[in-house]
């Protein structure tokens, strides 16, 4: 299957194909790129989610689409069965459309064939350049030293430490912003009722969440959201969770979705990532720096294009 980017709310789809471009672009990325999120190993990637005449949509296909989404959107999507279902169906629809196009010989049209040939050549050049440049860009075997590793831990705590995790439960009283007065009055009354129940002696937060929360997914789990890294939690909710003691219940928190009441169940402290993982990331970042320096040195041997040529390229007068 081909990789696709699926926007969760719009669910518009498009053929993204493979990312094209020469290694020069990739190698000019900064250290941040080297410290990107790591993917999970899809050990059950062959599990079929949908059968189509154009082929099967597998778990690996769905994970590839999720990986293309921003981290917060991934989290939200994973908690929304309807969103996941739509995403998988869109992958299937794309494959069916691609089969329909090829069955009609669309790939044989001269303009399409030319575009495909050009794309293949760019991919070929990209692979050759990446392989060639990477041959002599590895840092020394003793890099980084123990001192450099320690400095990296201190200077890049947000990158080289696993963030704190907050295990919490919630009750949501839905009240979208801009709702009419009748909806607002009903939500306000429900909120007051829930607060009253929570104040009762021996109140069971989980039972109240199951009976009253408007978040159907967490309501089925007695309000439990699970253990989320603090970087994954909405800022308004995180601020409240950080201030709570384990076992405490928060005051209502207003959000765009409505009112949230949180109960902190547990907190896991931040931990340093394994030294070998950090060492590998530092080596990768240094390799990129070496490659960039090599490319910059080669660029110095080139001449600047003429201003007239740039004018024709951009359609604007050269600066």
Provide the CA 126 distance to its chain's centre, in angstroms: 25
The answer to whether residues 204 and 252 belong to one domain is yes
- Tell me: do 104 and 145 sit in the same domain: no
Q: pTM for this structure?
A: 0.47
150, 289: one domain: yes
| 7 and 124 both lie in a single domain | yes
Same domain, 63 and 178: no
Q: Are residues 13 and 115 in the same domain?
A: yes
pLDDT in tens, the chain (319 residues): 443 333 333 333 333 333 323 333 333 333 223 223 333 444 467 888 999 888 898 988 888 888 888 766 777 777 788 888 888 899 899 999 999 999 999 999 999 999 999 999 999 999 998 888 888 788 988 999 999 998 988 888 878 888 899 999 999 999 998 899 999 999 999 999 999 999 999 999 999 999 999 999 999 999 999 999 988 999 989 999 999 999 999 999 999 999 999 999 999 998 888 888 898 889 988 998 998 998 899 999 998 888 887 787 777 655 5
pLDDT recorded at residue 181: 94
Does residue 261 sit in the same domain as residue 305? no
The pLDDT of residue 317: 57
Closest to 286 measured CA to CA, from 134, 151, 130 = 134
pLDDT for 157: 81
Give the pLDDT of residue 42.
Answer: 44
* Vertex 156: Cα angle to 153 and 160 (nearest 5): 60
If asked whether residues 265 and 311 sit together in one domain, one would say no
Name residue, tokens 């993204």. 16
Same domain membership, residue 143 and residue 288: yes
The CA-atom distances, in angstroms, between 149 and each of 36, 138, 184, 286 are: 18, 17, 54, 13
Q: How far apart are CA 65 and CA 2, in angstroms?
A: 9
Q: Residue 224: give the domain boundaries.
A: 164-269
Q: Examine the domain organization and report whether 6 and 78 are in the same domain.
A: yes
Q: How far apart are CA 79 and CA 21, in angstroms?
A: 35
- Kindly state the tokens that stand for 202: 């021996």
pLDDT confidence of residue 96: 93
Statement to judge: residues 185 and 121 lie in one domain: no
Structural domain count of the chain: 3
Q: What is the pLDDT, as a whole number, of residue 307?
A: 82
The verdict on 102 and 45 lying in the same domain is yes
Which among 164, 141, 160, 162 is positioned nearest to 151, based on CA atoms? 160
Q: Is 65 exposed, middle or buried (0-12, 13-18, 19+ CB in 10 A)?
A: buried
Under 8 Å between Cβ of 184 and 192? no
């Amino acid at each position: 299957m081909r990789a696709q980017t699926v926007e969760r709310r719009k669910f518009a789809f498009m053929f993204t194909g493979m990312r094209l471009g020469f290694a020069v672009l990739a190698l000019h990325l900064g250290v941040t790129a080297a410290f990107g999120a790591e993917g999970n190993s899809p050990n059950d990637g062959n599990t079929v989610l949908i059968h189509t005449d154009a082929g099967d949509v597998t778990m690996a296909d769905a994970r590839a689409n999720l990986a293309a989404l921003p981290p917060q959107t991934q989290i939200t999507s994973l908690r929304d069965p309807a969103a996941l279902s739509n995403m998988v169906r869109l992958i299937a629809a794309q494959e069916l459309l691609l089969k329909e196009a090829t069955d009609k010989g669309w790939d044989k049209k001269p303009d399409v064939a030319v575009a495909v040939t050009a794309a293949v050549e760019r991919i070929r050049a990209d692979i050759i350049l990446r392989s060639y440049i990477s041959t002599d860009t590895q840092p020394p075997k003793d890099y980084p030293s123990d001192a450099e590793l320690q400095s990296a831990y201190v200077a890049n705590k947000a990158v080289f430490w696993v963030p704190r995790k907050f295990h919490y439960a919630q009750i949501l009283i839905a009240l979208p912003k801009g709702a009419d007065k009748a909806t607002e009055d009903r939500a306000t009354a429900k909120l007051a009722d829930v607060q009253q129940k929570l104040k009762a002696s021996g109140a069971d937060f989980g039972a109240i969440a199951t009976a009253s929360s408007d978040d159907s997914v967490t309501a089925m789990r007695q309000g439990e959201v699970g253990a989320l890294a603090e970087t994954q939690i909405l800022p308004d909710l995180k601020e409240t969770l950080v201030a709570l003691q384990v076992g405490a219940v928060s005051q209502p928190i207003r959000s765009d979705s409505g009112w949230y009441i949180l109960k902190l169940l547990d907190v896991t402290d931040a931990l340093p990532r394994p030294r070998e993982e950090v060492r590998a990331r530092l080596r990768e970042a240094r390799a990129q720096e070496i490659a960039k320096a090599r490319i910059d040195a080669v660029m110095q041997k080139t001449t600047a294009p003429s201003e007239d040529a740039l004018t024709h390229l951009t359609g604007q007068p050269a600066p």
